[in-house]
Amino acid sequence: MPEHGDRQIAIVGAGMAGLACAAALRQAGRAVEIFEKSRGLGGRVATRRTDRHSFDHGAQYVTARGTDFNRYLAATAATAGAAPWRPETDDGGIETDPWFVGTPGMSALAKPLAAGLTIHRQALVRALRREPAGWFVEMEGRAAAGPFGAVAVTAPAPQTAALVGPFGTPFDRCSAAAMAPCWTLLLAFDGPIAAPADVLRPPDGPVAWAARNSGKPGRASAPQTWVIQAAPGWSRTHLEAEREAIVPILESAFADLVGNGLARPVYAAAHRWRYARVESPLAEPCLISEDATLGAAGDWCLGSRVEAAFDSGRALGRALAGQGT
């Protein structure tokens, strides 16, 4: 059994990996406390809302191949938190597994996992400290929290490496995972857009993906909203550009894709995901210290899909609870 016994466990990050980790620990009877740097939950399973608009500005959909995530999606759909999405695509159809989206926004996929949890939002973790009493979580602008019996870190690989790297093996392997950035453009139009399909995936150019967000299940059909995601290479080249400079470039590229002229948007904003997509995963479920009091998990352990984050977090939760992975 882990050395921390039944003591409370801290989780850094409230994305899908962190929330799945928490769910596995709670199922095993462990108490958890989560520290999340942002105001929202779900990480890249995200929805941005304004007074009139809603955009899924992170993950666009999810697929399920394994039993655990299939079961979770089915339960979420049964409570109207998820629904299948069958858009018209520019290649004539969906060639992979069925696509699912959260309803009324992608962030709804995270809410069932977060129910009843103690989550400290806008809590930016800067370091972990181990003392004889246990683990302490040091945050920017807040007093350190602890002691905890164990800590799970579920941030993107580079951020996780900064926190767990000082504690040696096996966390030196975090640096082997590679992640790509993504600039995302959010557009809203009062009138219809004569796009050739609901989902556009050009083979080259700055845009890798464009989707009619307002066409997803559970979304208002008007005003019409679009999410445009730039290609990894283009995003990496323009990573440090100002948001205001990114908007007209990607808007122009989208106009070229749509053709027939593009109406002036009533809303336009750019969002930068510094760590958006896994390019080279570790190919192992999670990392955990020999004494099972410190662990790391995330999609970067297994792959680029949301299910990978869920499975990795669940594996770490089970390992910290002494149930294997």
Q: Give the span between the Cα atoms of 241 and 110, in whole angstroms.
A: 31
Mean pLDDT, rounded, for 112-131:
97
Rg (CA), the chain: 20
Lowest pLDDT segment from 74-83, 93-102, 224-233, 280-289? 93-102
Percent of the chain with pLDDT over 70: 96
DSSP 228-295: EEE-HHHHHHTTTS-HHHHHHHHHHHHHHHH-S--PPPSEEEEEEEEEEEEEE--SSS-EE-TTSSEE
Q: What is the mean pLDDT of the chain?
A: 94
Q: How confident is the model at residue 203 (pLDDT cuts 50, 70, 90)?
A: very high
Mean pLDDT, rounded, for 114-128:
97
More confident position, 1 or 195? 195
Q: How confident is the model at residue 1 (pLDDT cuts 50, 70, 90)?
A: very low
Structure tokens belonging to residue 224: 């019409």
> Is the pLDDT score of 3 beyond 90?
no
Mean pLDDT, rounded, for 244-264:
93
Mean pLDDT, rounded, for 214-222:
94
**Residue ranges of domains in the chain:** 9-45+110-177+281-320, 178-279
Buried b (16+ CB within 10 A) or exposed e, 94-115: beeeebbbbbbbbbbbbbebbe
Centre a 10 Å sphere on the Cβ of residue 130 and count the other Cβ atoms it contains: 16
Mean pLDDT, rounded, for 147-176:
97
Structure tokens belonging to residue 282: 């570790």
**In CATH, what class is 178-279?**
alpha beta
Mean pLDDT, rounded, for 8-12:
97
pLDDT value at residue 261? 77
Residue in the structure block whose two tokens are 């904003």: 269
Torsion sign across C-alpha atoms 196, 47, 282, 84 = negative
* pTM of the predicted structure, to 2 decimals: 0.94
Q: How confident is the model at residue 139 (pLDDT cuts 50, 70, 90)?
A: very high
Q: Of the CATH numbers 3.50.50.60, 1.10.10.60, 3.30.70.20, 3.40.50.2300, which one belongs to the domain with range 9-45+110-177+281-320?
A: 3.50.50.60
